[in-house]
Amino acid sequence: MFGQFWQVSELIEGLRKSCLTNPSPTTNDNLDQLIYNDMLQGVCKLFQECMETGKFGYCPAGSMFLLRNQDRILWISIEEEGFCYKHISVKGLELQETSCHTVEAAFLDDKFERYFDRFSFYNRYFPTKCTFKPISRNKIETYSDVKNRLTGVIDSKEFIEIFKSNLPKVLTWKLIREIYSSYSFESSLSHIQYEHKYSIDKDWLNCIKNKENDWIFNENNLLKFAYLSKNIILKEGDFFNAQHIYKLYKGIVQESLNEPLKHAIKVSVRYCLRASLNHFLICPETNEELQDSLIDMNENWFIGLENDKELIEMIEKRIENIFLLQYTEETKTFCSRNLTRREDEEFFIAALEEESVKSQWANLSLELFYMTNDDDERYSIQAEPSILRNLTVQAANPPLGYPLFISQMQNIYSI
């Protein structure tokens, strides 16, 4: 029924490529695929541990399992089994963007809560037990994902004033750390004639001088750096608003600047935005606390956009914290995503009823023709929580199904 391993493997690989080469993926989809791919190693390790401890019981080829974490859902299928091994495929479903998906995901969360927190209640819920059965909850190392709407924050007058105050400090700090070691920049520093009429935070310069032990600066050089930072910012415009800040955040600055300086400005604006949000939403920071925050961001954070090429590399390196800012032109809204790497991210595991899933997959034509929404919501399947209709159809193989992520065949070995 399942064919030889090499046949199944080729089929899965073809489906995976068709999923990952979606002709019009959104930026969010690309990021979610990266997160699912990052989770893969931990999911396989967890699956192996559950098999070895007997939590799954007997699970032959064709068995299916569902993993739930925050707004993510993974669908695991056992494609082939043999002596002390199993070959599985892992699918990551789209996040809770549609109402149908949200209804069934909320239903899952409710049943998991009832099962693990009020165990005796679960068996009264028929026909849920003929669709899926909760097994356990475990912890996996992956990213927690927190999304926030920042409209009303970034465009507030108070925040913009904090940002304008912090930006010269952050840019001065960045120039000293990143560019002063360059001989060409050091030689050009001697030609800068700063003007005393610009207000310069002397306490901040003293803080840098005390903590940055790698370089020995006299006060004259520090003032030149501060003046240079202030001059760059004034050339970008003395008037700041949310759209202007976002433009600088994307790295859109004067074309006449050289590339190292453009990069320093872009990174400084991103660090400054994050520090200013902490100042505005949590508590004000002293100069010493601000510098400690900048050092932490420089070493343990990636701050950028969802379409930055460096994001893939940072997730592969498993950097501890990721902060992403997004602006939607149509709705004029700012949103952020804060990903934090955690070793104890909780996952709920359930065994799916094989016949319930296969019966729905066998009737996909009927589902797609007669059980879809009448509105423009991507012509999606009507939610039916008792049989997880929407999630099950989504987890089918493309082109009728539309999982966001399909892994390569994973080999699981157990004694």
In a domain, 404, yes or no: yes
Count Cβ atoms within 10 A of the Cβ of residue 216 and give its class: 0-12 exposed, 13-18 middle, 19 or more buried.
Answer: exposed
pLDDT of residue 213: 45
Judged against a pLDDT cut of 60, whether residue 8 lies above it is answered with no
pLDDT of residue 277: 95
Are 375 and 409 in a shared domain? yes
Q: Which two tokens stand for residue 326?
A: 């997004």
| DSSP characters over 225-250 | HHHHHHHHHHHH-S---HHHHHHHHT
Are 156 and 137 in a shared domain? no
Are 352 and 292 in a shared domain? no
Count Cβ atoms within 10 A of the Cβ of residue 81 and give its class: 0-12 exposed, 13-18 middle, 19 or more buried.
Answer: middle
Are 115 and 131 in a shared domain? yes
- The domain containing residue 226 runs over which residues? 152-331
How many residues are listed for the chain in this entry? 415
pLDDT of residue 223: 56
Are 83 and 217 in a shared domain? no
Judged against a pLDDT cut of 80, whether residue 297 lies above it is answered with yes
With b for 16 or more beta-carbon neighbours within 10 A and e for fewer, the 82-121 pattern comes to eeeebbbbbbbbbbbebebbebbbebbeebbebbeeeeee
Are 198 and 311 in a shared domain? yes
| Cα–Cα distance for residue pair 69/89, rounded to 1 Å | 18
- Torsion, Cα 118 121 125 128, to 10 degrees, reads 40
Query: Considering its fold, how many domains does the chain have in total?
Result: 2
Last-in-domain residue among 302, 331, 360? 331
Q: What is the pLDDT of residues 159-183, one digit of tens each?
A: 999 998 888 888 888 877 765 555 4
Give me the residues paired with residue 325 across strands: 336
Closest CA to 348 of 64, 39, 67: 67
Average pLDDT over all residues of the chain? 79
Residue bearing the bigger pLDDT, 209 or 39: 39
Task: Indicate the pLDDT class of residue 189, thresholds 50, 70 and 90.
Answer: very low
Task: Indicate the pLDDT class of residue 1, thresholds 50, 70 and 90.
Answer: very low
In a domain, 362, yes or no: yes
| DSSP characters over 343-383 | EEEEEEEEEE-HHHHHHHHHTHHHHHHHSB-SSSSTTPBPP
Judged against a pLDDT cut of 60, whether residue 25 lies above it is answered with no
Last-in-domain residue among 310, 331, 352? 331
pLDDT of residue 385: 85
Are 31 and 90 in a shared domain? yes
pLDDT of residue 172: 82
Tell me whether strands 321-328 and 301-304 are parallel, antiparallel or unpaired: parallel
Are 242 and 208 in a shared domain? yes
Are 247 and 273 in a shared domain? yes
Are 163 and 114 in a shared domain? no
Are 130 and 183 in a shared domain? no
Judged against a pLDDT cut of 60, whether residue 322 lies above it is answered with yes
Q: Which two tokens stand for residue 327?
A: 């602006």
Average pLDDT over residues 122-141: 75
Task: Indicate the pLDDT class of residue 210, thresholds 50, 70 and 90.
Answer: low
Give me the residues paired with residue 73 across strands: 68
Are 182 and 320 in a shared domain? yes
Closest CA to 404 of 31, 98, 99, 92: 92
Task: Indicate the pLDDT class of residue 365, thresholds 50, 70 and 90.
Answer: confident
pLDDT of residue 42: 92
Last-in-domain residue among 282, 309, 331? 331
Closest CA to 101 of 377, 410, 308: 377
